[in-house]
Amino acid sequence: MSSQRQASTSRSASGEGELPLHVTQDAVVIVPGIMGSELRDTATGDVLWGLSGAGWLLRAWTRRDGLADLRLTDDELAGKTGRVTATQLLRHGTWTPYLRGQEPYTDLVDTVLEHVADPAAILPFPYDWRLPVATNGKLLAERARAHLTAWREHPAHRAALAHRADQRPARLVFIAHSMGGLVTRSALDGTHSDDLAADTRTVVTLGTPFHGSVKATVILNSGRGAPVPLPHAKLRALCATMPGLHDLLPLYRCLRDADDVRRLSPGDITALGGHPDLARDSLAFHDSQRHVRLPDHRTIVGARQPTWQSLSLTDGQVTPYGAGPRPNSDGTLIRDAAGRVRHFATHGDGTVYRDAAALAGHVSTVPVQHGDLARADSALDAVADILLEDLPLGIPLGEPGCGLDVPDLAEAGVPWQVTAEHIDSLQGLTCTVTDTATGTERPVRLGMRDGRPTAEVTAATPGLYRAELHTYDRYTVSQLVLVAEPGTPVEEADG
């Protein structure tokens, strides 16, 4: 949990007098993002994804056989699942090439615990993120219905009703991070046997790529042509036949094509390294989701972080860009006086650019990275407000916070940089780097380089490190960086 918040203690209600006023009677479902659930081998119980420690991460990403058991089998691609079981939400910080650092969900769970009548009101929903969003959406619909039924019969639910003005029975509140928002939308699409949307009060999404992410194309393309570090090529080998990753591909006009910008076709996705059948299935699935309306949808999106928004595809090679087109009100693209498409750097959370995460309804922006959206105080405060049925106020007026740019992967003993974006002064700005294994935090001196505040960092030993920038307006933006052994091989993974 971040230093600004205190962990809550579990509460059990045997009578209405024991409950504080700041609790909701509703049932809360927490849905993590891609790679946000621990996965185990069903037969052996071995952990396939989610162990703690930088040592495990380094072995997983730099050994050729690391993470091999996560690849989908032919049976799994044919819909015969069960070999892998999702057991719990991520409890430890982890790292993935391109997607970078993923913070655990413990702070989000603790925040929800502070505002419900009993821990029994919370349903964490771990799921096998390798599988199609549609598959996990159906499972979520079943689990959420059972959870709401059980909570309405719980003694603490009856005690909580006495504190609420309308004394209505509990409804569902979904809090979903990243891919979890797509899974939640699928659960609420009305095609299941039970219309869950009618019993849902609100849906809160944190950085959900409703319109997809260019980063997914880069993952599928990594290692095709120029050599890349082994962890990045290994991720591509893992994701090439992963339906869940294909469900994150961009759906908007992002492909630069001569003097136009168009949507990706199944042929484009195949050319850049995707699977043709999975590409077609994913595009058809997203088309079927266009009619779904999320009840009282509250969107919390990351902002001010450098984020890929568009791409070009040449001879099978993807080149991503940190700027993209913007449409006029009639759907045509904004062009310059010569008729050329103009591109704008809208930024986002480092993985999902701002507009791609804003589906509809109330939108709040917070200046944090994608993996930190379920941990940052600014996002957690908004979640707490929503749980108590108060509209989030959003960030203060003006231009608070800053962007953060760090390397995807670093080497022990080799300097790397932490750079602040959207800020041109060192006033009130500080930087710290923390070894997540030991908790040792050290300040890092900032200086101006190319007009941007920059700190040079050298980690003596391999590990998972958290780089943090603290701004004068009391915002903190952080990102996890994996530091590997010196001389980490630059080669492609098998497959």
Task: Identify the pLDDT of residue 5.
Answer: 45
**Rounded-to-integer distance, Cα 134 and Cα 282, Å:** 9
Query: Is residue 302 included in any domain, yes or no?
Result: yes
Residue 422: closest CA among 384, 449, 451? 451
Q: Domains in the chain: how many in total?
A: 2
In a domain, 345, yes or no: yes
Please indicate, yes or no, if residue 493 is contained in any of the structural domains: no
377 and 469 both lie in a single domain: no
Whether residues 376 and 462 fall in one domain: no
Residue 494 lies in a domain: no
How far is the C-alpha of 132 from the C-alpha of 284, rounded, in Å? Answer: 12
Amino acid at 445: R
Whole-angstrom distance, CA of residue 244 vs CA of residue 76: 12
pLDDT per position as a tens digit, 312-354 = 999 999 999 999 999 898 889 999 999 999 999 989 999 999 9
- Looking at the structure, do residues 430 and 375 belong to the same domain, yes or no? no
Q: Which of these three, 395, 410, 434, is where a domain ends?
A: 395
Supply the pLDDT for residue 194.
77
Do 418 and 374 reside in the same domain of the chain? Answer: no
440 and 363 together in one domain: no
Query: Are 372 and 476 found together in one domain?
Result: no
In contact, 464 and 61? CB cutoff 8 Å: no
Entry pTM: 0.88
Contact between 232 and 491 (Cβ < 8 Å): no
Joined together, the tokens standing for residue 489 give 């091989």
Put the strands of the sheet holding 47-49 in their side by side order.
Answer: 47-49, 37-41, 84-89
Q: Note the pLDDT of residue 1.
A: 43
Place of tokens 């190319």: 450
Domain stop point among 395, 414, 436 = 395
Its domain, for residue 178, covers 1-395
Residue 422 lies in a domain: yes
CA dist., res. 134 & res. 187, Å (int) = 8
- Which of 395, 416, 432 is the C-terminal boundary of a domain? 395
In this structure, are residues 90 and 50 in contact, taking their beta carbons and an 8 Å threshold? Answer: yes
Q: Do residues 409 and 372 both lie within one domain?
A: no
- Helices and strands (H and E) in the chain: how many: 13, 24
- Closest by alpha carbon to 379, among 276, 95, 387? 387
CA dist 171 and 183 (Å) reads: 19
Same domain, 385 and 422: no
Q: Which residues of the chain have a pLDDT value below 70?
A: 1-19, 21, 164-166, 193, 223-228, 361, 390-399, 488-495
Q: Which residue in the block uniquely carries the two structure tokens 């380094």?
A: 58
The domain spanning residue 232 has which CATH number?
3.40.50.1820
Contact by Cβ (8 Å): 37, 88:
yes
Closest to 170 (Cα-Cα) out of 155, 184, 182: 155
Strand-pair partners of 41: 84
Residue 495 belongs to some domain of the structure: no
Residues 383 and 474 in one domain: no
CA atoms within 13 A on the CB side of 345: 11
Please indicate, yes or no, whether residues 253 and 319 belong to a single structural domain of this protein: yes
Residue 256 phi, psi (nearest 5): -75, 120
What pLDDT, in 10s, does the model give residues 360-380?
767 889 999 999 999 999 899
User: The domain spanning residue 417 has which CATH number?
Assistant: 2.60.40.10
* Burial category of 413 from C-beta neighbours within 10 Å (exposed 0-12, middle 13-18, buried 19 and up): middle
Strand partners, 256: 261
**Residue from 238, 187, 177, 239 nearest 209 by CA:** 177
CA 336 and chain centroid, separation: 35
Does 318 share its domain with 378?
yes
Helical segments of 240-294, H only = 243-246, 266-272, 276-288
Q: Are residues 135 and 264 in the same domain?
A: yes
φ and ψ at residue 381, rounded to 5 degrees: -65, -40
